[in-house]
A and B are shown apart, each in its own frame.
Chain A
Amino acid sequence: AQTVTQSQPEMSVQEAETVTLSCTYDTSESDYYLFWYKQPPSRQMILVIRQEAYKQQNATENRFSVNFQKAAKSFSLKISDSQLGDAAMYFCAYTGTASKLTFGTGTRLQVTL
């Protein structure tokens, strides 16, 4: 079974600074997708970024980028120029041939002035 691990329950970053959220996963599959979802206080799940395992190039979406290390099964999220609106729970997620999403335990990100 696939597992997703987020070892940082909480992180804090100052506005305009950069923060990196960690995620590792375990799988025996070769074809899969990885995601970072954001859950603000409204609890609506919002897709931040996704990465296809077959792509070597790290995905980037504006201020959000990932460091995908396939051999190490690591998938970290970097948020640059942090904004107050980035404060939320962030979940790392995996999907493979079973087609269901497996979530990590989440990291609560605080953004301070």
Chain B
Amino acid sequence: GAVVSQHPSWVICKSGTSVKIECRSLDFQATTMFWYRQFPKQSLMLMATSNEGSKATYEQGVEKDKFLINHASLTLSTLTVTSAHPEDSSFYICSARKRRQNTEAFFGQGTRLTVV
């Protein structure tokens, strides 16, 4: 199988605080992980690509100091939303690719972030 687990499934945080979202590949090694943001009734917008052991590559318009991505191991990537504001409220989804495979990506179940 190819299971990607994302945690937490939902989180509520106060404005100004930081929140960390974890993405784990449970049964395979993922050299590349992707982080997406999805607004209601819209498509997935790629935020950044993270490769194990190196800095993440951010898409244009995504603030790297706001959305910190760490990919410290072949099975774990984290997204930290720093100094969260209500406009950061969204659905965040991670996906992972198997090592040496540049084909399909496997998705986590997503995290609904609400900043109050």
Contact = CB atoms under 8 A, between A and B. Distances in A.
Asked if A pairs with B, the answer is yes
Interface of A: 33, 35, 37, 42-47, 50, 52, 91, 95, 99-106
Given A100-B49, A103-B44, A33 B104 contact: yes
B44 A91 contact: yes
Interface of B is mostly: strand
Scoring A42, A44, A52 by chain B CB atoms within 10 A of each residue's CB, the highest score goes to A44
Interface stretch (B20-28, B69-77, B78-86, B91-99): B91-99
Contacts of A104: 43
Contacts of B91: 43
Contacts of A35: 104
Interface of B: 32, 34, 38, 42-44, 46, 49, 91, 93, 95, 97, 102-107, 109-110
Contacts of A45: 44, 93, 95, 107
Contacts of A43: 38, 91, 93, 109-110
A35 to B, nearest CB: 6
A44 to B, nearest CB: 5
B105 to A, nearest CB: 6
A95 B103 CA distance: 7
Given A95-B102, A95-B103, A99-B32, A105 B43 contact: yes
Given A47-B104, A102-B46, A104-B43, 4 more contacts: A33-B103, A46-B107, A91-B43, A106-B43
Contacts of A99: 32, 49, 97, 102
